Amino acid sequence: MLGRALREAEIAGFVARNVARLTRPPRVPQAEMRTLSAEEARALLRAVEGDRLAALYAVALATGAREGELLGLKWDDVDWNAGAIRIQRTLLRTGYELAEPKTASSRRSIPPGAAALDSLRRHRKIQAEERIRAGTSWDDQGLIFTTAIGTPLDAGALLRRTHYPLLKRAGLPRVNFHALRHTAATLLLAAGTHPRVVAERLGHTTPSVTLSVYSHVTPTMQREATATLDAVLRAKWAQKRAQ
């Protein structure tokens, strides 16, 4: 952040050079990625049933979208006819402002599936009831996931008041909300989905970024690929011997 600020200052002529480029920053050890298994993800969805934010979890696991992208979704972003959700903005934690997506590839359309869309339909009814109760206090910004008066959700409050208590109630490990994105990607890759498809769904620039982030899945994919190829070659060999 400091480097980018000094770069802008250098361009504007406020400083002679960007001294941040001369530094040798320490290496940051990569934290172990924590995800939920398929069974744990299903348990989470069962535990959140009936909660006013149940649709948030359904869409998060179905799309792999970033937290800010989810909290920045508007009802106009849902294409009910095409069965898709358009990612067009993100909610910034600072100031709760809506901003452009992280990168050009982050602007994308994702088909979340029938279950997530059904959850969104139920959520729309819940929000309509909340709007009536709030009356003139309702802050209509067109957002899908909001507080009880229509204002943007605070990510920190979401974590403390909803997410962690939900995990505890479901008997699941204490993972952060971002782990839902990692879970969606891991489950897709483990199921054999092409990395390019997963990359487009996640909003990654290239499949190489996806494979780099989720390198822990590739050994399993390699073993499955080996087993598949081995089965094909064995079948061909057996067929040739039979002839």
The strands making up 84-87's β-sheet, listed across from edge to edge, are 78-79, 84-87, 108-110
pLDDT of residue 104: 87
The region, left, alpha or beta by phi > 0 then psi within -120 to 50, assigned to residue 44 is: alpha
Whole-model pTM: value is 0.81
Q: Is 33 exposed, middle or buried (0-12, 13-18, 19+ CB in 10 A)?
A: middle
The arithmetic mean of pLDDT across residues 68-87, rounded, is 97
Query: In the chain, what is the straight-line distance between the N-terminal and C-terminal CA atoms, in Å?
Result: 68
Contact 35, 107 (CB under 8 A): no
Structure tokens at 139: 């802050």
Q: Could you give the domains of the chain?
A: 1-30 (no CATH), 31-242 (1.10.443.10)
Evaluate if residue 116 carries a pLDDT over 90.
Answer: yes
Give pLDDT, residue 19.
Answer: 94
Share of the chain above pLDDT 70, in %: 95
Taking the C-alpha atoms of residue 169 and residue 151, their distance in angstroms, rounded to an integer, is 27
Per-residue pLDDT for 161 more than 90? yes
> Is 240's pLDDT higher than 80?
no
Does the pLDDT value for residue 101 go beyond 80? yes
Q: CA angle, 85 as apex, 79 and 91 as ends, to 5°? A: 125
pLDDT of residue 25: 83
